[in-house]
Chain A
Amino acid sequence: MTVMQIVFLITAVVTLFAAFRVVTTPNMVHAALWLIVTLFGAAVFYALLQANFLAVAQVVVYIGAIAILMMFVIMLTRREMRDRGPQTGKQWPWAAVIAAAFFGGLVWLGQQAALPAAPKADVPKDSIAQLGQALVSPNGFVIPFEVASVLLLAALIGAVYLAWTRHQS
């Protein structure tokens, strides 16, 4: 067993445990913190796969922005951080059945699919430069990239419009 595999196993166990705690802890802020651990575990997986850019982007976007805003919102809106009621609703057996079936299906698919063998060559050193060029080259993904940009811009303008206070003079 190589060191990388040991790191992978430890990360996998921690990530799964954290994901489990996200849905079982009664304390909202603790749930948000466990979610951060889970997201960070995903970033470690990316780093182990030598997808450095994805790993860092994961940390910037999910931990740096989304998780912190989530904690912010929880702190602002709830006086009582602890849920006193039961943790499960009435339909929990059905949800469990569907989740189990879905997970089983995924496992079955994973076993059925003929996965290509891992490429022998190492990841190119300047993979991020290739990614950047692919995003803006006409032969690459320039149209999806621009469409996403326009969508984000529209969301930005919409947010500004909604937050605009009109001064009455």
Chain B
Amino acid sequence: MGILSQPVGAIAAWLQALLEGWGLAPGLTKVILYLIGAGLVATLVQVWVIFLIWFERKIIGRFQDRLGPNRVGPYGLLQPFADLIKIITKEVILPAKADKAVYLLGPIVMNAGVLAIWAVIPLMPMVGMDTNIAALYTIAVGAFATLGILMSGWASNNKFALVSAIRTVAQMVAYEVPTVLALLVPVLLAGTMSLHGIVKAQHVWFVIFAPLAFLIYFIASVAEVGRTPFDLLEAESEIVAGFHIEYSGMVFAIFYVADFLHAFTIGALAAVLFLGGWRGPGAEAFPLLGVVYLWIKAFAVYFLVVWARGSLPRVRIDQMMDFSWKFLTPLALILLVVAAVLDHFVIGLGVWGRALSHLAANAVVAWLVLQYLEHYDRARARQRPMVAQPGQYPEARPPAPVETSPETAS
């Protein structure tokens, strides 16, 4: 067991030998090792957020034709540290009529929900909890993020915060359905719910098998995180800042960290489910390379999230609900059925034959959907012309009477 072929396993074995040498019981040693592992993962990904904040501000700056942070340190790299020191020195203000315990627990519950997802993400071969329910688990702990927002929105004793919390629940319930249905496609293709198993099954990335499912998963996850264009829960122009309106200082910073980390986490999840996870040249022999590959892929997806934030306007709430229930959910259901039925017939074709037939089926579904949308659009345009009809708006003046009728003109 070399340090290069199994870095974490080697360190864990060394630590275990050390602790047992001190005379601790083997059961207790195992628990201590688990605690160290969980603490390390949770701490490292939160420290990673410091870099994410710089990255996102820089990219958004470029999208908006600005320079972004560029004063503190080279390329503004130390700007997040300056912000960090500033936010630590700020006072944590408790609103007088807030529900104190729930108010302070809200951000912690939200952050815990995001961090819990990292327990099952396979960072490299042999690392990360390998359980046969991991895919479902990522959905389950996502509920805690919702719960945290709901708690803080209610406990702030602020009408805007409560409206935001209620919007959040509506949005999460709506977009959880397409997320789960799209998630089922890679589960079905790999034949397991274990994320390790899904990564191992991707000799060809599942994004080639199921590009539409990847798109649905991506869009629905962005909505679940509440990023633009689905940031109705903190729409500044309508409800000021949403659920975190009353928060300040480090308590607010926890929300901030959870938000950035959640966006990166869905990048990592999409990379694991659809982009091959730690797979890449040489990752089997040197697992540390696997972390690099996973990080690059997660960053690619995260960049898409930031790109969407930099380019798209916010959707209205009715558009958001319609998009999930009337478009994404039926489409995801159709895709799931198509993938299941098709896979039954092409499973013997070899990896590439299987991948290409799935790709062809996806192309057909995409073409049909586009045809349907065009037809639907035309039908709606016929039904409701773009010009205002007489009597449609009470305050609008009726159109001028037709001056020449065929009878009088001739």
Task: State whether the Cβ of B140 lies closer than 8 Å to any Cβ in chain A.
Answer: yes
> Counting CB contacts under 8 A, is B102 at the interface?
yes
Residues of B within 8 A of A56 (CB): 133, 136-137, 140
Tell me whether chain A's interface is mostly helix, strand or loop, or mixed.
Answer: helix
- Expressed in whole angstroms, the minimum distance between the Cβ of B138 and any Cβ of chain A is 10
- Is the CB–CB distance between A36 and B147 below 8 Å? yes
Provide the residues of chain A in CB contact with B132, threshold 8 Å: 52-53, 125-129
Q: Please give the number of chain B residues whose Cβ is less than 8 angstroms from any Cβ of chain A in the complex.
A: 29
**Residues 21 to 35 of chain A near chain B (Cβ within 8 Å):** 27, 29-30, 33
A33-B102, A75-B154, A126-B132 known; A60 vs B140 contact (CB < 8 Å): yes
Residues in chain A near residue B151, CB distance under 8 A: 33
Q: Does B221 lie at the interface of the complex (its beta carbon under 8 Å from any beta carbon of A)? A: no
Give the contacting residue for A3; candidates B31, B137, B176; CB below 8 A: B31
Q: Is B210 an interface residue (CB 8 A)?
A: no
Q: Is the CB of B169 within 8 A of A60?
A: no
CA distance A30 to B151 in the complex (A): 10
**Interface-forming stretch among A63-71, A85-93, A103-111, A140-148?**
A63-71
The answer to whether B166 has its CB under 8 Å from any CB of chain A is yes
Q: Is the CB of B143 within 8 A of A68?
A: yes
* B391 on interface, CB distance cutoff 8 Å: no
A168 to B19, CA, bound (A): 76
B residues 124-162 near A (Cβ < 8 Å) are 131-133, 136-137, 139-144, 146-147, 150-151, 154, 162
Across the interface, do B143 and A59 meet the contact criterion of CB distance under 8 Å? yes
Instruction: Name the residue on B nearest A61 (C-beta).
Output: B140
Beta-carbon nearest neighbor of B157 in chain A: A81
Q: Is there contact, CB below 8 Å, between A64 and B27? A: no
Is B28 in contact with chain A by the CB < 8 A criterion? yes
Total cross-chain contacts (CB, 8 A): 70
Contact indicator B139/A68 (Cβ below 8 Å): no
B28 in contact with A29 (CB, 8 Å): no
With a CB–CB cut-off of 8 A, which chain A residues contact B143?
A: 59-60, 63-65, 68
Flag A14-50 by CB within 8 Å of B: 1 or 0 each. Answer: 0000000000000101100100100000000000000
Interface centre among A33, A36, A69, A127 (most CB of B within 10 A): A33
Residues of B within 8 A of A77 (CB): none
Number of A residues near B (Cβ < 8 Å) is 28
- Does B193 have its Cβ within 8 Å of any Cβ on chain A? yes
Q: How far is the CB of B168 from chain A (nearest CB, A)?
A: 10
Q: Which residue of B lies closest to A2 (CB)?
A: B27
Docked CA distance A36–B140 (Å): 13
* Bound Cα distance from A36 to B143, whole angstroms: 11
Partner of B193 from the list A36, A64, A72, A128 (CB cut-off 8 Å) is A128
Sample (28) of A-B pairs whose CB atoms are under 8 Å apart: A3-B27, A3-B28, A3-B31, A29-B99, A30-B99, A33-B102, A36-B147, A52-B131, A53-B136, A56-B133, A56-B140, A57-B136, A59-B140, A59-B143, A60-B139, A60-B143, A63-B140, A68-B143, A68-B146, A68-B150, A68-B169, A68-B173, A69-B169, A71-B150, A72-B150, A75-B162, A125-B132, A127-B132
What is B's interface to A at a CB cutoff of 8 Å? Answer: 27-28, 30-31, 99, 102, 131-133, 136-137, 139-144, 146-147, 150-151, 154, 162, 165-166, 169, 173, 176, 193
